[in-house]
Amino acid sequence: MIKLFTSLLLCAIAFSATAQTQPTTPTPGEEPYGKIGMNEMTMKDCDFEKNANAEVLFDKGVIKAFPRLMLERHIRIKVFTDRGTHRGEFRIRVQDDGTGNPMSDLQVETFNLENGKIVTTPFDKKTLFFTKVDRQTKEIAFAVPDVKPGSVFEVKYVSTQLPYAWFFQDNIPTRYSELESDYLARGNVRTVPHVRQSYAVDSHQSDDDKQIRVMVNVHSLPDEPFMTSAKDNLERIEIYPDFLMGHTWNLIGRALVNYGHFGSEFDQLLAGEGAIIKHAKGLSSDDERIAFLFDTVRNSMKWDGMTSFFAYDAITKAWNKKSGNSAEINLVLYNLLKRAGIKAFPMVVSTRSNGKMSPAFPNFLGFNNAVVYIPVDSNKFYILDAASKYNLYNTIPFDDLDTFGLSVDPKSETTKLIPIEDAEPVMQSVFVNAEVTADGKLNGNAEVTSDFYNKIKAAREYITDGDSKYIDSLRNGDNNIKITSFKMENMDVDTLPLTQKIGFNISLAGSDENYIYVTPNLFSFTGVNPFTSENRYSDIDFGYRNDHSISGIYKIPTGFKVEALPKNITIVMPDQSILFKRTIAEGDGTITVRYLIDHRKTVHFAEDYQDLRGFYKKMYELLNEQVILKKG
């Protein structure tokens, strides 16, 4: 079993070349290396995606099972703008098995048009740069030479390592991308497509021994709001060698328990732990013990920035130097929790930024982090990650939401694949108490109460940006708002919501001696509408149900009356997934208003984007509708 898991770690690679896409004219995918046509050199833009900074002219890959597994790849890219020149920077992670460069036959050239002639700039292999990432992985970096607007460059190589996936799509448009797979079933390799766009070619030969799949004119995948990892949303075919699949989650769990850089760390004695555990056991409840131990590890150890699901160093060493990767820190926490009598289990996960695991395909390749799982009761559990200083013990880390975690029981070697989600709404409440003055000013106070994810977000921004910059951000770019006082409470108390108390005065834009215009949506943190693009290429994943309650009492100045008051209204998404409600009333010289935004689910598919876009457009119009006061 150890051998199986070691094979996994030695063979898994992160296929992360900065450019990931391939072939064009005259016959797509068949152009010989170094033969560039004048039509490619004179291209000014991408004809199916205007304003693109660069375009993949073709990207052709051939995966062969015999005489051994290997990938042959040939990619050609056209650069249109200065911003597109970064596509000439490649970083490829590969197995570091001590046998030298795992990529052979690397060929790189750049072509530029000078005085009507194509000039070639060769690549100097001496500029290859190798970086050791960890025990099993190294990164090969190189820059394609003399890349500038108008350049065409190409890269060709053979790798003895298989990529995690073949990507037909990239963050620049792809004119032609082809994957040919030869006899993979005989090499015990499976391919799993994740595609929405139709293939231009999808050919099979007898018994699927040879397959050719082609996509053409593939739109780039932009960085869209509330998108998880690009990997989850790109058009791709995932590639799974059978010996890495693990066959069952239980088999994977047993391999983890017996793996030297994971399971061997479950029963380590830590220097000075006696006093820590004694203090924890003296606390009156499990929640207090969990909170104390979580805070102790989070505040004592510094995360080195590396996310991993196994320990590079022994956790005793990481504890002594007060620094480690995410697995080392969280395995320290697991040991302390266990010895303090808490029913806790080590868990491996694939974070949102890394890509979601598929429960139907048990495999090692998707995991990239180790955390601690604590089942509280049949309906409640904690996921602890002490690597980040901003995480809370009672809040599932945001980057673990809407994914799966594999919990391991070291004693029985049984495992549980657990969907990690937070179905409870997370409310951020705003209350404003303000007075409108006859000269068109609004003076008052606001109190913003934030819990769980909203608390973490605000605390991170406040600490990262600093007091002055954070306070300035509360104005949301409106120079008419002046913050006169600010106080933040309970930022360091995990069990209490964060409270922000804001004193302000505002010069109400457009107001004069006869009319005053008031927008009651203040300090709501709803910001600008994130869904204004006409098209959407990725699913929308909010992560959690981020609900808002915005209430206010506004005193009307003497001598003015309400000229126009927004109506009470409720709007709902066609599938009932989001509700917006506005309630507003006038009486006794004041206006009271309340907005409610209720998100009832966290994930919306790209196919449903137009409904979501229309709803948000209307909701933001209603949020920004003004109260008009008239003198007389």
Tens of pLDDT along 558-588? 999 999 999 999 999 999 999 999 999 999 9
* 234 contacts 221 by C-beta, under 8 angstroms: yes
pLDDT value at residue 312: 86
Residue 274: phi and psi, rounded to 5, are -55, -45
pLDDT value at residue 525: 80
**Residue with tokens 């983890």, as numbered in its chain:** 256
Alpha carbon 311 to its chain's center? 23
**Residue 563 to residue 591: CA distance in whole angstroms:** 12
Asked whether the predicted pLDDT for residue 303 surpasses 60, the reply is yes
pLDDT confidence of 545, banded at 50, 70, 90? Answer: very high
Task: For residue 514, count CB atoms less than 10 angstroms from its CB and return exposed for 0-12, middle for 13-18, buried for 19 or more.
Answer: exposed
More confident residue, 370 or 133: 370
Tens of pLDDT along 314-357? 999 999 999 999 999 999 999 999 999 999 999 999 999 888 88
* Averaged confidence pLDDT in the chain: 88
* 142 contacts 129 by C-beta, under 8 angstroms: yes
Q: For the whole model, what pTM was predicted?
A: 0.84
The 10 Å Cβ neighbour count of residue 351 is 23
pLDDT value at residue 97: 59
Name 6's Cβ contacts closer than 8 Å, sequence gap at least 6: 259
pLDDT confidence of 241, banded at 50, 70, 90? Answer: confident
Q: 293: left (phi > 0), else alpha (psi -120 to 50), else beta?
A: alpha
Name 82's Cβ contacts closer than 8 Å, sequence gap at least 6: 148, 149
Give strand pairing partners of 211. Answer: 181, 204
Residue 442: phi and psi, rounded to 5, are -130, 115
**Residue 107 to residue 87: CA distance in whole angstroms:** 16
* 508 contacts 441 by C-beta, under 8 angstroms: yes
Tens of pLDDT along 21-42? 333 444 555 677 888 999 999 9
Tens of pLDDT along 252-274? 888 888 877 888 889 889 999 99
Give strand pairing partners of 202. Answer: 213
Q: Give the helix, strand, coil percentages of the chain, each rounded to 5.
A: 20, 35, 40
Q: 183: left (phi > 0), else alpha (psi -120 to 50), else beta?
A: left
Q: Is the dihedral of CA 595, 468, 397, 290 positive or negative?
A: negative
Tens of pLDDT along 80-91? 999 999 999 988
pLDDT value at residue 120: 95
Among 87, 80, 83, 153, smallest CA distance to 118 is for: 153
Kindly give the residue spans of alpha helices, DSSP state H, lying in 326-403: 326-339
Portion of the chain with pLDDT greater than 90, in percent: 67
Alpha carbon 494 to its chain's center? 24
* 616 contacts 604 by C-beta, under 8 angstroms: no
**Residue 160 to residue 580: CA distance in whole angstroms:** 55
Region 134-149: what's the mean pLDDT?
Answer: 84
Tens of pLDDT along 192-220? 899 999 999 998 765 567 889 999 999 99
Q: What is the DSSP string of 304-330?
A: -S---SS-SS-HHHHHHHTEE-HHHHH
Domains parsed from the chain with CATH numbers: 2-241 (2.60.40.3140), 249-420 (3.10.620.30), 426-631 (2.60.120.1130)
Residue 448: phi and psi, rounded to 5, are -110, 125
Q: Is the dihedral of CA 194, 199, 205, 207 positive or negative?
A: positive
Q: Is the dihedral of CA 37, 38, 43, 44 positive or negative?
A: positive
* 538 contacts 609 by C-beta, under 8 angstroms: no
Helix (H, G, I), strand (E, B) or coil at 87: helix
Tens of pLDDT along 53-98? 999 999 999 988 777 778 899 999 999 999 999 999 988 777 665 6
pLDDT value at residue 118: 95
* 3 contacts 74 by C-beta, under 8 angstroms: no
pLDDT value at residue 240: 78
